[in-house]
Amino acid sequence: MRINKNQIHRIVREEKRRLVEQSGPLELARVINKHYVTPPEPPQEVLDVLESYTDGMAEAWGLQWDPGDPVMRSYGQDAWDMQASDASVQLYDQILAILETPDEAGHIIQRIEEEADYVEEQLHNGEFYRSGGVTY
C-alpha cells in the first residue's frame, strides 16, 4: 500500500493534535498555573513538561519525512530528523522566552501554539538545514 503526500500530512496533523492534547500546551499551561507565578526561573516540573512537549513535537515532525519528496530524499531521513530535533530545541527556547514574559495564563496556550506553528513552518522552509549539519 502506497501513501501519498496528502495522506502523510493528514496522519501527521492527527498525530500532532494527539501529542498536543496529551502533553502539549494545555498540560504545560496546567503545570504553569499550578507551580509558576513569577519569572524568571520556571520550576523543574514546568521544564520537564516543556521538554516532554518539545520532544514529542520533534518526533511528530520527524514523521513528516517523505521519501517521495525529491528534496527530502536527496538529503535523507537522518538530515530531516536532525532538523526536526533542532527545530524542537528552538521551540523549547522560544517557549521559555514566552514564560519569561508576564502574561495571563489564557494567552500562554495560544502563544505556545502559534510558536509551534511558526517553528514548523521554518522547518518546512529548510531554515534548519545547512550542508554538513543543521543550524538556526
23-44: per-residue pLDDT in tens? 566 667 667 666 655 555 777 8
Strand residues in the chain grouped as ranges (E): 129-130, 133-134
pLDDT of 71 over the 60 cut: yes
Range of the domain at 55: 5-134
CA proximity to 57, closest of 100, 23, 98, 99: 23
Examine the pLDDT at 124 and tell me if it is beyond 90: no
Domain count, the chain: 1
DSSP class of residue 38 equals: S
Taking 90 as the threshold, does the pLDDT of residue 130 lie above it?
no
Q: What is the pLDDT of residue 109?
A: 75
Q: What is the pLDDT of residue 133?
A: 46
Nine cell digits for residue 57: 513535537
Output 104 or 77, whichever has higher pLDDT: 77
Beta strands in 30-98 (DSSP E): none
Look at residue 133 and give its three-state secondary structure.
Answer: strand
φ, ψ of residue 134 to 5 degrees: the values are -115, 145
Q: What is the mean pLDDT of the chain?
A: 78
Q: pLDDT (tens digit, 9 = 90+) per residue, 89-107?
A: 999 999 888 877 766 555 7
- Cβ distance 43 to 99 under 8 Å? no
* Residue 104: predicted pLDDT: 54
Give the predicted TM-score (pTM) of the model. 0.71
**What is the maximum alpha-carbon separation in the chain?**
52
Per-residue confidence at 20, pLDDT binned at 50, 70, 90?
A: low
